[in-house]
Structure 1
Amino acid sequence: MQTEAQVSSKDAQNEVNADSGFNIYLRLLGYVRASWFYFTLSIIGFILYSAMEPAQAWILKHIVDVVSNNEIAENRLLIPMAILGIFVIRGLGTFLGSYFMALIANKVVYDLRTSMFDKMLLLPSNYFHSMPTGRLLSKITYDTEQVTGSVTSAIKVILREGFTVVGLFSYMVYINWKLSLLFLVVLPVIGLVVSYASKRFRKLSKRIQGAMGGVTDVASEAIKGQEVVKIFGGIDYETTRFRDAAYENRRSQLKMELTKALNTPIVQFLVAISLSALIWLALDPTFSDNMSSGDFVSFITAAGMLSKPMRQLTEVNSILQKGIAAAQSIFEFIDMDVEVDQGKRKVQSLKGEIRWDNVSFQYPTADKLALDGVSLSLEAGKTLALVGRSGGGKSTIASLIPRFYDITGGDLLIDGHAIQDYVLTELRDQIALVNQNVVLFNGTIHENIAYGRLRNAPEEDVIAAAKAANALGFIEELENGFDTVVGEDGVLLSGGQRQRIAIARAILKNAPILILDEATSALDSESERSIQQALDTLMEDRTTIAIAHRLSTIEKADMIAVIDHGEIVEVGSHSELLEKDGAYALLHKQQFAE
């Protein structure tokens, strides 16, 4: 059995959740504020629509009274015209309410998606390492679609059917207030049913969102790794993974539909009990003595008409809770902390002098240091080559320069100033990067070379950069030349061609600091020699940090540092390190033997 303290704790948690849901929805409605004019037109439309519901009951009363009093001749034209007017006004109200509410919802979803995308581009690198791509895409696509329902369908039903209930009930009070009060008795019971269903709907909606993220995760990984899946016989395994994820989503959806299917008939039954009692009392002369035949018929008609809007108001609860759960996920994402940038120092141009002073670094999810006490000094315009075994910390050292990560301890200085003192965007403007895993976008070759802030670069500069990267030859052989679309992630180009496009992009940027992370790894021997010549030209008078496994590509480096387990093992020139006959010499002998 539950203790009194446990029950009290659950009640308190439910109150917090209810309050949280209300606040989330209010924040969501804040996005409607910019479209207040359209929202006003929509409300006017729903008021017009709702006002015509009791008008229909009134016209029925008038018809009954006219027939009872034998006044047909005098009202033969008036009544049809009144009916026609009611439907014209109702149609106008439906158009105004529905169209402008859809317009608002479209704008809200657009604003949410753009806000999420803007935030995504500002998030720190560790977020992307911990969040699967499919789950992130699910937030931007699926979650925002769920919000659409809560802004369009939910608000439309709440306003339209809510005004209808108020209008019909007010008309009933006008006809016979004593009988009308009976409806108020059942409202608290309906409220309890709806409250329970709301908590259930929101809980299931969150589960569905998580399951949907799982579906997109598996699908995204299978699409990206389709070649590996086929070669290593992973089709059955991936099929099972996807079916499991899809089944979890289906199971949660069915639970949601079960709750919805039970919620509606229960509320309908409660309304039916009220209507039955209402009609039973209405047939009692004590309650209907002062009512004409028309009053009696229109009262019962208005009471019957209440059933539909009340049913729709309870059904909209599931849509509303889906939207609130989705909005909570969206706002949690939007409220995430962006990359820390407290730098005030403006950057006109950097010389490129870099000094690591007892630098240590630990990844947020790791339990040990990735770098421990790294101390190096690199003069402006010189080249530092980082070598060592995989996982030793070479890429980590390089990633600290553009501040993809912030150091955990020690000091990292550029031109004598702490790297944190520089304005982040301006610091990165002074750095060019060529990754081992080349990143190309689904656009033309020209767009990938002249990317971002380089997009307005003169045509001749783009061509010169391509030529320097030994890419002009294969580009000119393509049917559309620089206007050739490379496909997603450059899939329509070979690995070597993608690498040369990335190098051309770095050459075009002409930044004082250059980071080369295995920049020639995807090239054949012949291409490597020509590219290495281009890189040698590019590296002149630039501070360069080159990460390499092929030691032959960094023999001319001014300084070579051997990294192992996050520590500097050896530092010196190529010849000096060979003379030491230490870790570097051992690596060199192994590669030479190969």
Structure 2
Amino acid sequence: MFFLFLTNALDGVYPLIMKKALDQIEGRVPMSDITKTCVLFFAIMTSLAVTRYGWRTHFGKFHTFAAEHIRQKLFKHVTSLGPNFFHKNQVGELMSLLTNDVQSFRQAIGPGMLILADGIIIILVVLPIMISMNWTWTWKTLIFLPLVPFLIWKVMKLIHLNYKTQQDRFSELTGVAQETVGGIRVIKSFSQEDNRTTLFNGVSAAFEKACNKVARVDAFFVPVMEFGVTSGSVILLFVAKDDLYSGAVTIGTFVAFHRYIQKMVWPMTALGMGFSFFQKGYASFDRMKEVLQTETDIPDLGTVEINKFESLEFRHVSFKHKNSPVYVLKDISFTLQAGHSLGIMGPVGSGKTTLLHLLTRLYPLEEGQILVNGIPIENITQESLRQVFLLVPQEAFLFSESITENVSFGLAERASDSDIQRMTEIVDLTNEVNALPMKFESQLGERGVNLSGGQKQRLTIARGLIMKTPVLILDDSLSAVDTKTEKAIEKELSKGDSGMSRIIVAHRLSSLKTVDQLLILKDGRVEAWGTYSQVLNSSPTFQKIVQIQGQEASHE
């Protein structure tokens, strides 16, 4: 701002130097005097170059740093929010927030604030000089100036409203594009390319319409702002002619004053442009503020750190999603001791995954208690809880990195080649990895798109096994592995003095042959809990599963 003030002060002085030079030429003064004036003019213009460089570099650093800061703040906050937030907000909308809205905010506090400050400073510098030169000329040539604030107020309201609509349409466009690219295999399988293209074109047309609406409002600024001031140039010709004829003023004064009128065009335009940037940035700031003020439904308020597993107990746990009257889980109670394993079965929609999400604090616990090592789960820090209970979700998600990086994802440091190879051997993936051009350093596509569904699932299991956490939770993660691989995984899980505790959600009985206890869920309630034989005798759901899968009604 200091450099900007100096720039405008120097810029306001040089027409006076030009006036002096013209008056000297008209007065036929010695060449030595004109030379001094020229040197002064050159010095001022050189200083202008220096000060302009100063404010450009400092302003550039400021608004890019501010954008980086708020982008990181947004990203950190978004990653702290629970699944309910992501259920309500499209991925494309969040991508737009972290990119387009941050960019719009940067434009407001960078170029927008710069232009506005520049315009205001020029008015404060130029207007007093014009008044000192000729008060009559000043008020007559700037007669339309009082209209400017009213016009700005009217247009800024329209910009704020229309730009927010534009950003909403952009979010919808990004969401459809992201969803289409992410689900391209499904789209092609059902031959829905034309339908998705029609949908995309419709959303794109709505975005185009919103952009054009903003552009039409924006287009009013420059003509309206310039008209109020440039009309002063015409007025000057009429009001100055008598003074020029009589010799009351010099040609130099007329030229300098006309130059100042031209300079007043920019401040009026700058006010419009600056407010335009601010209104766009304010619309984006509203959207960012809304997200930043969204509080997570799973706040990390725990103070107890745990590093081992002794026991787990569910006491009359019930859960329903926010604003839903239907309970997903109702009155769930069971226990699990260290070194033991628990298998969970039940029909689709019986609440199996929800139970695991409550245990790993992905959903808030509102009714009942979950005790880990006898400590209420909300009193335990989320980081230490998830280092004890590692959840391998049923959706195999891989990152656009190498196979080695994906397997080492949860570790503080990259795993050794021998550990990675051993884990891929356990899940029967080594030969398939070695067949790739770069073997373990092969880069995976987005979400592991260049691997089959079974390969992705086995790779996520390897990622979980290498962590060696006290409790490994497999949420239907064994559905794509064969019996041989299942046995290898079970052998790895059973290593150690007491063996790794595990919780396995599965629909196949073969995946649960070696578990110590079974929990059967139906309609969100516990239908049976106990050993294989106990559950078989008391659970109609389990009996039906055994019958359908052709299993013997006995536990070997």
TM (normalized to structure 2)?
A: 0.92
| Distance in 1, Cα, partners of 2:254 & 2:141 | 17
SS in 2 for 1:561: strand
Return the letter of the residue paired with 1:313. Answer: L
1:301 pairs, out of 259, 264, 269, with 259
Q: CA offsets, 1:93-128, max 9 Å, x none?
A: 222222322222221221122111111211112111
Note the C-alpha offset of 1:426. 1.2
Task: Map residues 89-104 of structure 1 onto 2, 5 A cutoff.
Answer: 89-104=47-62
Question: Retained in 2: the 8 A contact 1:279–1:300?
Answer: no
| Distance in 2, Cα, partners of 1:215 & 1:405 | 30
Note the C-alpha offset of 1:55. 2.5
Correspondence for 2:461: 503
1:259 pairs, out of 217, 222, 237, with 217
Matched, 1:433 2:384: no
Task: Map residues 563-574 of structure 1 onto 2, 5 A cutoff.
Answer: 563-574=521-532
1:349 pairs, out of 282, 291, 308, with 308
**Quick one: structure 1 residues 581 and 266, their matched pair in 2 at CA, closer, same or farther if it must change by over 3 Å?**
closer
| Distance in 2, Cα, partners of 1:77 & 1:299 | 23
Question: Retained in 1: the 8 A contact 2:229–2:261?
Answer: no
SS in 1 for 2:481: coil
Matched, 1:422 2:363: no
Correspondence for 1:138: 96
Note the C-alpha offset of 1:259. 1.0
Note the C-alpha offset of 1:389. 0.8
SS in 2 for 1:306: helix
Task: Map residues 215-226 of structure 1 onto 2, 5 A cutoff.
Answer: 215-226=173-184
Q: CA offsets, 1:399-454, max 9 Å, x none?
A: 11111012221111111111111111111111122221112111122211221444
**Quick one: structure 1 residues 474 and 232, their matched pair in 2 at CA, closer, same or farther if it must change by over 3 Å?**
closer
1:404 pairs, out of 337, 351, 362, with 362
Question: Retained in 1: the 8 A contact 2:163–2:283?
Answer: yes
**Quick one: structure 1 residues 333 and 183, their matched pair in 2 at CA, closer, same or farther if it must change by over 3 Å?**
farther
Q: CA offsets, 1:68-109, max 9 Å, x none?
A: 322152334223323333332222222222232222222122
Question: Retained in 1: the 8 A contact 2:391–2:474?
Answer: yes
Task: Map residues 38-437 of structure 1 onto 2, 5 A cutoff.
Answer: 43-181=1-139, 186-277=144-235, 280-283=238-241, 291-338=249-296, 339-351=298-310, 353-437=311-395
Question: Retained in 2: the 8 A contact 1:471–1:504?
Answer: no
Correspondence for 2:515: 557
| Distance in 2, Cα, partners of 1:180 & 1:539 | 93
Correspondence for 2:449: 491
| Distance in 1, Cα, partners of 2:410 & 2:533 | 41
| Distance in 2, Cα, partners of 1:436 & 1:296 | 80
| Distance in 1, Cα, partners of 2:141 & 2:367 | 69
| Distance in 2, Cα, partners of 1:63 & 1:154 | 36
Deviates more, 1:101-110 or 1:152-161: 152-161
Matched, 1:591 2:553: no
Matched, 1:482 2:428: no
**Quick one: structure 1 residues 471 and 515, their matched pair in 2 at CA, closer, same or farther if it must change by over 3 Å?**
same
Question: Retained in 2: the 8 A contact 1:447–1:455?
Answer: no
| Distance in 2, Cα, partners of 1:73 & 1:556 | 106
Question: Retained in 2: the 8 A contact 1:97–1:156?
Answer: no
Q: CA offsets, 1:12-32, max 9 Å, x none?
A: xxxxxxxxxxxxxxxxxxxxx
**Quick one: structure 1 residues 549 and 448, their matched pair in 2 at CA, closer, same or farther if it must change by over 3 Å?**
same
| Distance in 2, Cα, partners of 1:535 & 1:489 | 26
Q: CA offsets, 1:48-69, max 9 Å, x none?
A: 3322332232122112321332
**Quick one: structure 1 residues 533 and 473, their matched pair in 2 at CA, closer, same or farther if it must change by over 3 Å?**
farther
Deviates more, 1:397-406 or 1:323-332: 323-332
| Distance in 2, Cα, partners of 1:435 & 1:290 | 88
| Distance in 1, Cα, partners of 2:340 & 2:50 | 75
| Distance in 2, Cα, partners of 1:478 & 1:235 | 31
Correspondence for 1:35: none
Correspondence for 1:6: none
Return the letter of the residue paired with 1:239. Answer: T
Question: Retained in 2: the 8 A contact 1:532–1:553?
Answer: no
SS in 2 for 1:392: coil
Note the C-alpha offset of 1:180. 3.0
**Quick one: structure 1 residues 434 and 152, their matched pair in 2 at CA, closer, same or farther if it must change by over 3 Å?**
same
| Distance in 2, Cα, partners of 1:261 & 1:110 | 30
Question: Retained in 2: the 8 A contact 1:48–1:89?
Answer: no
SS in 2 for 1:267: helix
| Distance in 1, Cα, partners of 2:467 & 2:165 | 46
Question: Retained in 2: the 8 A contact 1:438–1:498?
Answer: yes
| Distance in 2, Cα, partners of 1:380 & 1:137 | 42
Question: Retained in 2: the 8 A contact 1:45–1:97?
Answer: yes
**Quick one: structure 1 residues 441 and 539, their matched pair in 2 at CA, closer, same or farther if it must change by over 3 Å?**
farther
Q: CA offsets, 1:156-205, max 9 Å, x none?
A: 32233332232221211221245434577644421011011111111111
TM (normalized to structure 1)?
A: 0.86
Note the C-alpha offset of 1:554. 0.7
Matched, 1:543 2:490: no
Specify every segment of 5 or more residues in structure 2 that has no aligned partner in the other structure, as ranges.
Answer: 552-556
SS in 2 for 1:77: helix
Q: CA offsets, 1:120-141, max 9 Å, x none?
A: 2111121112211111111111
| Distance in 2, Cα, partners of 1:540 & 1:443 | 35
Return the letter of the residue paired with 1:341. Answer: D
| Distance in 2, Cα, partners of 1:334 & 1:72 | 69
Deviates more, 1:228-237 or 1:522-531: 522-531
| Distance in 2, Cα, partners of 1:350 & 1:394 | 21
Question: Retained in 1: the 8 A contact 2:518–2:531?
Answer: yes
| Distance in 2, Cα, partners of 1:98 & 1:134 | 34
Deviates more, 1:184-193 or 1:200-209: 184-193
Correspondence for 1:15: none
Question: Retained in 1: the 8 A contact 2:493–2:499?
Answer: no
Note the C-alpha offset of 1:507. 1.7
Question: Runs (4+) of structure 1 moved beyond 6 Å?
Answer: none
SS in 2 for 1:411: strand
Note the C-alpha offset of 1:534. 4.0
Question: Retained in 2: the 8 A contact 1:470–1:531?
Answer: no
Question: Retained in 1: the 8 A contact 2:8–2:118?
Answer: yes
Question: Retained in 2: the 8 A contact 1:47–1:163?
Answer: yes
SS in 2 for 1:556: coil
Return the letter of the residue paired with 1:590. Answer: I
Note the C-alpha offset of 1:540. 6.0
Q: CA offsets, 1:374-409, max 9 Å, x none?
A: 111222222221111111101111111111012221
Question: Retained in 2: the 8 A contact 1:562–1:571?
Answer: yes
